[in-house]
Chains A and B, each alone.
Chain A
Amino acid sequence: MAAIRAISPGPLSTVQDLGRPGYQRFGVSVSGAADRYALRLGNLLVGNDQRGAAIEVTIGGAEFEFTDAVTFAITGANLSPSLNGTPIPLWESLHAVAGDHLSLASPAGPDAGLRAYVNVSGGIDTPQMLGSRSTHVGAKLGGVDGRALALDDEVPIGPLTNPVPPGRRIPVDLIPRYGGEIVARVVPGPQDDKFDQDATDLFYGSTFTVSDKSDRMGCRLEGPQVPAIDDAHDIVSDGVVTGAIQVPGNGQPIILLADRQTTGGYAKIGVIASVDLALVAQASPGAQIHFEQITVDEAAVLARDRMATLRDIIFDTPDESSGERWQYDIRIDGADYQVDVDADALKGHSTAVVNGIEYDVQVVPGE
């Protein structure tokens, strides 16, 4: 069976899909990809169902070997991916042959994001547990033995059912921009009534900084203290959702991410719109977050529009190129070559014809 072998697993690489909803009443976290938008786009690029499983690589330092030829795509954070040492583009389907090495380095900068997704045609095919392949390390559920990938793990790839060509690219306007000053839209509730007008104004009027104590369970923020009325931050525990913003007694908000628990005992001032949650999940320590209040109906429209966009996505492909080609006559070591290159090659993957034979080429932009 085709597989991805972990040559160097990196600090935290886990198998993730869209999570295991439906089991929160048993105390089971939903988990799943921290950046679901990047996972969905990656799956679409390689011809999978949007719900397919990929490897979520956190802050890089990872190297993998493909045991068989495979179509793959890297989405999410820019961890300067390379194949056999040659830089490769993100957000594009690519081809690898057996033995190829895929490397992911540390984030390319403070605005590069934290988590990249290695998506493969056929999807990652570790066993499903409670309807999902997602790894929850704390609960030892899913993925490879319920843990992060370790040296020499062979992560199985599922059967190829929908082959797609390399060179499919996510249209530029759909590629998320991580970092900068993040504006996260928030639907107030369920415990927004625990905060008076001054505290609410402070929350929406301030800029918070992402703490280095953030992880897959939560994005912890530092900033002005947001006080609850009568300091009543603790509530009788109730259910929580991913994206909920808890404000504990120290007044420093915590945004709940994929591996959050199922219940929580802190007042929740609001819940982040799902379309903005990926940006929060990709925010590096030190990033700035500002909250903007919207209504539940506005957030629902944003989410429905996002789903429609994914459903109706049209990739940029080499076939839709300008058609312009560049021709060169080249002499190397005394031999003559006629080279004919697709002008769109500079955008990444393309074809070149050398002495009448067509080759797939990967053009790496230089100076």
Chain B
Amino acid sequence: MTTGNQPVPRILTCGEDALVVEFGNAVDPDINDQVYALAEAVGSANNESVIELAPTYRSLLVQYDIEQSTAADMTTFLSDLIGTADATQNKNDNAPRRIYELPVAYGGKQGEDLQDVAEHAGISADEVVAIHSGTDYRVFMLGFAPGFPYLGGMDERIATPRLASPRVRVPAGSVGIAETQTGVYPMVSPGGWRLIGNTPVSLFDPNLEPPVPFLPGSFIRFVPVSAEQAAEFASKVADGSYVVQMTEQGS
């Protein structure tokens, strides 16, 4: 239930045991920053009634234990924190960005649509790789499937429509393009994205805590590697010795 024409963020009812704090209605880095600032503030508050946080593009869903709290109490709790989170957000403007590096073997058998993307863009395959790996992509959220990152910020020059007929089986680690989006398939699944390469890094491992190599709200950089290097990394990923490189950079 909406609570009238209140200014953003709005706190919305989502059933008997959840609230949604909505910071806006767009895919926007500033809005997304506010979402993660509040998620962090809620996490730090150690409120025992909070049982789930689901940050997305533009809102934070907070699920709580109704035996420990009420919608009214949680609304107060979140309203109080929103002020604090705004302050955190201002600090974050000067805080470094976390950039996680994902090695990608572009082209070849596991990136067999690279040439089609190049032709669609009217440039060479090497230029597609240079453009795709030349941007740091914001992880707006993880969703759809375990570890699936919704990335923002792809250069529109390499935007390509989905396949008219989706593949029945896309290998795990496939890096793809769909319209102006780019992403990585965490596990084998059907899919219609144009595949331009493959990363040996596992995007989801339920035996790890957390089960993903990078948290939403951070950034991904695709780093071109040879097929041989990718195979070497893959064996390190398999024996658990691979560490995803993370760099911090002033934003």
B interface SS class: loop
- Is A330 an interface residue when CB atoms closer than 8 A count as contact? no
Interface residues of A in 112-133 (CB under 8 A from B): 129-130
Interface residues of B in 110-166 (CB under 8 A from A): 141-148, 150
* Contact partner, B16, options A129, A192, A263, A274, Cβ 8 Å: A274
CB distance from B166 to the nearest CB of A (A): 16
Residue numbers in B under 8 Å from A274 (CB-CB):
15-17
Contact A26 B16, CB 8 Å, known A21-B63, A129-B206, A237-B57: no
Residue numbers in A under 8 Å from B187 (CB-CB):
139-140
- Is A312 an interface residue when CB atoms closer than 8 A count as contact? no
- Is B88 an interface residue when CB atoms closer than 8 A count as contact? no
CB distance from B65 to the nearest CB of A (A): 10
| CB <8 Å contact, A28 and B211 | yes
* Contact partner, A263, options B12, B13, B54, Cβ 8 Å: B54
Q: Which of A52-60, A183-191, A210-218 touches B?
A: A183-191
* Contact partner, B66, options A139, A239, A263, A300, Cβ 8 Å: A300
Contact A26 B147, CB 8 Å, known A192-B1, A236-B26: yes
- Is B33 an interface residue when CB atoms closer than 8 A count as contact? no
Contact A261 B143, CB 8 Å, known A22-B52, A238-B59: yes
The residue of chain A having its C-beta at the shortest distance from the C-beta of B188 within the complex is A140
B46-64 vs A, CB cutoff 8 Å, 1 = contact: the mask equals 0000011111111111010
The interface centre, meaning the residue of B22, B56, B67, B216 with most chain A CB atoms within 10 A of its CB, is B56
- Is A243 an interface residue when CB atoms closer than 8 A count as contact? yes
A128-160 vs B, CB cutoff 8 Å, 1 = contact: the mask equals 011000000011110000000000000000000
| CB <8 Å contact, A239 and B13 | no
- Is B2 an interface residue when CB atoms closer than 8 A count as contact? yes
The interface centre, meaning the residue of B13, B27, B59 with most chain A CB atoms within 10 A of its CB, is B13
Residue numbers in A under 8 Å from B20 (CB-CB):
190, 238-239
| CB <8 Å contact, B61 and A189 | no
B1-42 vs A, CB cutoff 8 Å, 1 = contact: the mask equals 110000000001111111010100111000000000001000
CB distance from A176 to the nearest CB of B (A): 19
* Contact partner, B143, options A189, A244, A263, A302, Cβ 8 Å: A263
Residue numbers in B under 8 Å from A188 (CB-CB):
1, 13
CB distance from B178 to the nearest CB of A (A): 14
| CB <8 Å contact, A190 and B58 | no
| CB <8 Å contact, B55 and A296 | no
- Is A303 an interface residue when CB atoms closer than 8 A count as contact? yes
CB distance from B53 to the nearest CB of A (A): 6
The interface centre, meaning the residue of A26, A29, A187, A261 with most chain B CB atoms within 10 A of its CB, is A26
| CB <8 Å contact, A238 and B58 | yes
**Distance in angstroms between the alpha carbons of A268 and B12 in the assembled complex:** 11
* Contact partner, A241, options B1, B57, B63, B212, Cβ 8 Å: B63
CB distance from A8 to the nearest CB of B (A): 28
**Distance in angstroms between the alpha carbons of A129 and B27 in the assembled complex:** 32
The residue of chain A having its C-beta at the shortest distance from the C-beta of B211 within the complex is A26
CB distance from A46 to the nearest CB of B (A): 24
- Is B223 an interface residue when CB atoms closer than 8 A count as contact? no
Interface residues of B in 179-223 (CB under 8 A from A): 186-187, 204, 206-207, 210-212, 216
**Distance in angstroms between the alpha carbons of A237 and B56 in the assembled complex:** 7
* Contact partner, A26, options B22, B57, B146, Cβ 8 Å: B146
Residue numbers in B under 8 Å from A21 (CB-CB):
51-52, 63
**Distance in angstroms between the alpha carbons of A190 and B26 in the assembled complex:** 16
A237-256 vs B, CB cutoff 8 Å, 1 = contact: the mask equals 11111011000000000000
Contact A190 B27, CB 8 Å, known A25-B142, A236-B58: no
Please name 21 pairs of A and B residues whose Cβ atoms are closer than 8 Å in the assembled complex, sorted by A.
A22-B51, A23-B211, A24-B54, A27-B146, A27-B147, A28-B211, A129-B206, A138-B145, A140-B187, A187-B1, A189-B12, A189-B13, A190-B20, A235-B25, A236-B58, A238-B61, A263-B56, A263-B144, A268-B14, A273-B15, A274-B15
Which residues of B are interface residues toward A (Cβ below 8 A)?
Answer: 1-2, 12-18, 20, 22, 25-27, 39, 51-61, 63, 66-67, 70-71, 141-148, 150, 186-187, 204, 206-207, 210-212, 216
